[in-house]
Amino acid sequence: MEFYKSVIISEKGPPNVLKLIDNELREPLENEVRIKIICTGVGFTDVIMRYGHYIFAPKIPFVPGYEIIGTVDELGKGVTNLSQGQLVAALTVHGGYAEYIYLPPEELVTVPDNLDPKEVLSLILNYVTAYQMLNRVAEVKQGQTVLITGASGGVGNALLQLGKNAGLKMYGTASKKKHSLVTQLGGIPINYHSDDFTEIIHQEEPDGIDAVFDAIGWRSARQGYKLLRRGGTLVSFGQTGSLKNGKLNTITGLMDFFLPSILNLIPDGKRASFYGITRLYRKNPIPFREDLPKLFELLAAKKLKPVIDSVLPLSEAVRANEILEKGEAQGKLVLLCNDE
């Protein structure tokens, strides 16, 4: 009997509730693919899951891990569109902190062999989110001006790179120590600790801006909405401000969710949207499968360079979560799930 390792959330709480366990390695079922995971990402959604605040998470205990890159290891009966050894990507939502995972073939996207799996990993969640918010929601145009709150985060990095490619003028809020990264990626940094971004942008852009991409929550989103010119768009996502020290502020969380609907009732020529990739993917996975290969092409053409903060072994999942939760990461945190 063979075994493989995974990391589970054993109970609600801080990073040390993550436990490394052994699992029996079974054969794939009919219409199922066994994937040998190369790497998985560590993201803010994992933190929300760990504290028990994510509606799409299964009952604890379970394996977190929102996205994976791996190779096809074994094919179940009836799977004919894939072959062993093929490189694939998947938006798993949970299950990624493991050496193996079992998925239906329709959830897999094939990946060109000439790409770095660790860089491709960043595209699955962060860059697809950014790409869809820019192009499918805000429908940005070259020369427009936008604000990105939480610009040093994973999705913020992606918004900056894709926005630079699109010819946008971008303001990005971040702590002072992360300003060089924002500048490097094409943004104009604003220190959210010491500066009022609304005052700065009012001074620099008296006619207003075209779009706001807000990762923080309703207070930040409401301020950003006021900066929009007529025809502008607010896209709210992430809502990191709703979770403090592992506790979800229910009132703030509800405001995050309902604020776009409230703002859309105001007849001011602006619009607001709440973006959540999991909800959209469950409703219609086709846009995800269309957009991810476009990002593969940009990566291959060296028009994207995902920022990777750290690459750690699966056994150090606790440490990776600590880095993320303390706000110390600049870019993607990657867990290597198999040595090779």
What is the residue extent of each domain of the chain?
3-111+307-336, 123-279
pLDDT at 254: 47
pLDDT digits (tens, 9 = 90+) for 250-260: 445 545 555 66
pLDDT at 221: 87
**148 neighbors 171 (Cβ within 8 angstroms):** yes
pLDDT at 241: 52
- Could you tell me which of 61, 54, 66, 80 has the C-alpha nearest to residue 21? 61
Q: Average pLDDT, stretch 250-278?
A: 69
pLDDT digits (tens, 9 = 90+) for 118-168: 999 999 999 999 999 999 999 999 999 999 999 988 899 999 999 999 999
CATH of 3-111+307-336, one of 3.20.20.70, 3.40.120.10, 3.40.50.150, 3.90.180.10: 3.90.180.10
Tell me the range of 19-33, 42-56, 146-160, 269-283 where mean pLDDT is highest. Answer: 19-33
**47 neighbors 9 (Cβ within 8 angstroms):** no
Q: Is the CATH code 3.40.50.720 the one for domain 123-279?
A: yes
pLDDT digits (tens, 9 = 90+) for 78-127: 999 999 999 999 999 999 999 999 999 999 999 999 999 999 999 999 99
Angle between helices 218-226 and 197-204 (to 10 degrees): 20
pLDDT at 329 over 90: no
For residue 203, how many other CB atoms are within 10 A of its CB?
A: 8
Q: How many residues does the chain have?
A: 340
DSSP designation for 308:
E
| Enclosing H/E stretch for 270 | none
Whether residue 105 is preceded by a cis peptide bond, meaning omega within 30 degrees of 0, is no
pLDDT at 336: 98
pLDDT at 331: 83
Q: Going along the chain, which residue ranges are E strands?
A: 3-9, 18-24, 33-42, 67-75, 87-91, 100-103, 109-110, 145-148, 169-174, 188-191, 209-214, 228-236, 243-244, 247-248, 271-274, 308-313, 332-336
pLDDT digits (tens, 9 = 90+) for 162-190: 999 999 999 999 999 999 999 999 999 99
